[in-house]
Structure 1
Amino acid sequence: MLQKHIEDIQSGIKAGRYGNEASVSQGIVLRLLQALGWPTYDTQVVCPEYSLEGRRVDYALCHPASKPIAFIEVKQIGQSAGAERQLFEYAFHIGVPLAILTDGQEWNFFLPAEQGDYTERRVYKLDIVEREISESVARLDRYLSYAQVSSGQAIAAAREDYKNISRNRQMFSSLPEAWSKLVSEEDDLLLELLADKVESLCGFKPDLDTVAKFLREKVSLNSGGIQERERPIQFTKPAAAPASIEPRPQRQTIASEHPVGFTLEGKFHPCRNGREVLVGVFEALSVRDASFLERFASRPKHGRTRRYLARSPAELYPGRPDLAAEHFSKLKSGWFVGTNVSRAQIERIAEMACEVARLRFGRELTVNVGE
């Protein structure tokens, strides 16, 4: 029955039969309300020109009689833009939970008491000409049928749909921050996925430091999506004419000022690279405290998909026998340390080790993993 009414209204809209607000109100709105079970003849239930201190809303749907539960504001086809504010003022005035703005073709369902601007408080926007008939029938019945509204189920359904929309909006708005954190924190799973993809494309697998460097230097996030960072344009000054200038003494390199290694409680331990730093920290802390390795391994979470310390290489890389075959170092105690890590990850693992050893990272233990 409702489907037949919608089909006829669609034809009328396309033929231009509803040329003003009154024809939309009588020929579309009242017709659909009656098809949805509303007693349109009872003006205490479907109350036209409902008065609010000198203002009037086109229809107040009431349950029980004379107590509004929903407002409908009607506009001429194509003229509903910007009418939300007026409708919201009506609804807020007496606490009506559901507000509907329609020009006959577009039906906007709002929950005025929820948070956000007008569009964020819109539960659904239905275009009965553009949408499938079945969708129009389902939505009108869900939010506007007399049985659903009078039982409270329509309001409950609208609130549930609003929560889903709000949740999706929050998730979408958090994606840029989540991506930024994955890149800046050099998430181990992200690095591994990218390294694996490179290997599948060219047959060679980059180490995680190379992948991390690529993400830091090449990838940024903006409103248009992930893009390669533009290199700043550098202007080279013309070479000056040679002059007899005393050669300056060569500056000491950063590497010599800050050699690779770690300092534990005032004693420096030199290392050749970051992975030696990682292994050296575990060895030194296990000498300092015989229970350290067991306590570190018992932490419920190491990396996202791996363990940093385990009894076997296979336990370091669950489900990744390719990594377990070569990316590890065996400690003197028989424990295994995973070495498929970036420099930033080594620093985070050292910080985790300090938490277990009850040391202050950056003071009682400092690490330099190199450039």
Structure 2
Amino acid sequence: MSLEQHIEEIRAGIKAGRFTNEASVSQGIVLRLLHALSWPAYDTQIVCPEYSLEGRRVDYALCHPPGKPIAFVEVKQIGQSEGAERQLFEYAFHVGVPLAILTDGQEWNFFLPGEQGDYGERRVYKLDIVERDISECVSRLSRYLKYDAIVSGAAIEAAREDYRNVSRDRQMKATLPKAWVKLVEEEDELLLELVADRVESLCGFKPDPDTVARFLKDHIFPRTPSATTQPPRPTVPPSIPPASVGTPAGAVGYIINGQRYPARNARDVLVSVFEALSQRDATFLERFAALPKHGRTRRYLARSPEELYPGRPDLSREHSTQLSSGWWLGTNVSRAAIERIIEMACEVARINYGRELSVNLGE
């Protein structure tokens, strides 16, 4: 009889309620499956029942060589295995067994006691032989519990490989919310563009990056009704003297070397700052363009609008501005991105952002 046929009959027995206690599970399911997995189930030096550990007993010690445990199997009555991991782990740690199996006949839990994490995190796999497909049951039982795989060490290595994969998946799932929050907080250009493009495809109108950024932040970080405090407005550093010409301190614009320059909006500030820095230093634009990385997917400054937005002629037409020098500057960016670009520009121009040059990009 094949392993698949054994599992089919055991499933039918579980559904019919034939395994009423731990002993019936042990003899009618566990020993039967071990035999089907090529274990010499009646050699008590290899499949050792009631293995003694300083006054305690584990239901089965699977041994190789004979008498030396390589895996423990703890058996419980169907539906009664919850919370039994602690006892099993104590057994495994005491002897240094690399593989521990907890089963109630229907659910099979495979653990690597020596790995990191709590009991659940050290579980490599949980198999329900009633709910899972027969092919999956055959595959997993053979992978972790087949006699020759245990003896050769292949089963332990397979379990460790699967544990590493599970651990990676767990870390990735735990990090996904953090990555999403970071993308929203940093107003990632590609994210804003993807959302704006989808809005345009649905209604025919395309929101600007700041509108998209505000929408995402309001949904990720909803404001509570009781919140009355407002974020502080950008202030002029005290080291910069009051400008003799310009606009009120709260107006959109920038200050460089104490001189205030007004602007209509944040994008005008970006363009004006690049014009001012290029007039101070004729090599500024070349050096900025030579930076190895601008945005995540595109460049901020280029010789042509097509270079700013590869493969996006619509953005090239609508969101690029030509500087007086002939260079082109991309303007499909949010306020947060504009501030990052200006900070990059200050580093290239070797001036101190916030002291020698400060900006107010509005709200």
Q: Secondary structure at the match of 1:81?
A: coil
User: For 1:68-147, what aligned pairs fall within 5 Å after superposition?
Assistant: 68-147=69-148
TM-score (norm 1): 0.88
Q: Which residue of 2 aligns with 1:310?
A: 302
Q: Which residue of 2 aligns with 1:232?
A: 225
Q: Which residue of 2 aligns with 1:267?
A: 259
CA distance in 2, matches of 1:138, 1:157: 12
CA distance in 2, matches of 1:265, 1:98: 69
Q: Can you give the 5+ residue segments of structure 1 that lack an aligned partner in the other structure?
A: 222-228, 235-254
- Is 149-158 or 259-268 further displaced after alignment? 259-268
CA distance in 2, matches of 1:303, 1:261: 23
Q: Secondary structure at the match of 1:360?
A: coil
CA distance in 2, matches of 1:230, 1:345: 23
Q: Which residue of 2 aligns with 1:219?
A: 219
Amino acid at match of 1:214: F
Cα distance, 1:157 vs structure 2:
1.0
1:228-271 CA-to-partner distances (Å, cap 9, x unmatched) read x366279xxxxxxxxxxxxxxxxxxxx83322222223333332
CA distance in 1, matches of 2:302, 2:158: 50
Q: 1:363 to 1:64 in 2, by over 3 A?
A: farther
1:48-74 CA-to-partner distances (Å, cap 9, x unmatched) read 111111111111111222221111000
CA distance in 2, matches of 1:43, 1:357: 80
Q: Which residue of 2 aligns with 1:48?
A: 49
Cα distance, 1:15 vs structure 2:
2.0
CA distance in 2, matches of 1:72, 1:57: 7
CA distance in 2, matches of 1:131, 1:76: 20
Q: Which residue of 2 aligns with 1:332?
A: 324
Q: Which residue of 2 aligns with 1:346?
A: 338
Q: Which residue of 1 aligns with 2:26?
A: 25
CA distance in 2, matches of 1:289, 1:282: 11
Q: 1:68 to 1:358 in 2, by over 3 A?
A: farther
- Is 154-163 or 206-215 further displaced after alignment? 206-215
CA distance in 1, matches of 2:43, 2:352: 76
1:154-180 CA-to-partner distances (Å, cap 9, x unmatched) read 111111111111111111111211111
User: For 1:184-333, what aligned pairs fall within 5 Å after superposition?
Assistant: 184-216=185-217, 218-220=218-220, 229=222, 232=225, 256-333=248-325
CA distance in 1, matches of 2:9, 2:195: 56
Root mean square deviation, CA, Å: 1.8
Q: 1:64 to 1:266 in 2, by over 3 A?
A: farther
Cα distance, 1:315 vs structure 2:
0.6
Q: Which residue of 2 aligns with 1:247?
A: none
Q: Which residue of 2 aligns with 1:163?
A: 164
Q: Secondary structure at the match of 2:296?
A: coil
CA distance in 2, matches of 1:297, 1:184: 26
Cα distance, 1:318 vs structure 2:
1.2
Cα distance, 1:272 vs structure 2:
2.3
- Is 257-266 or 195-204 further displaced after alignment? 257-266
Q: Secondary structure at the match of 2:206?
A: coil
TM-score (norm 2): 0.90
CA distance in 1, matches of 2:186, 2:362: 17
CA distance in 1, matches of 2:254, 2:248: 14
Q: Secondary structure at the match of 2:321?
A: strand
CA distance in 2, matches of 1:103, 1:36: 18
Amino acid at match of 2:56: R
Identity of aligned residues (%): 74
Cα distance, 1:128 vs structure 2:
0.9
Amino acid at match of 1:79: Q
Cα distance, 1:326 vs structure 2:
2.1
CA distance in 1, matches of 2:263, 2:105: 76
Amino acid at match of 1:263: I
| Corresponding position: 1:358 with 2:327 | no
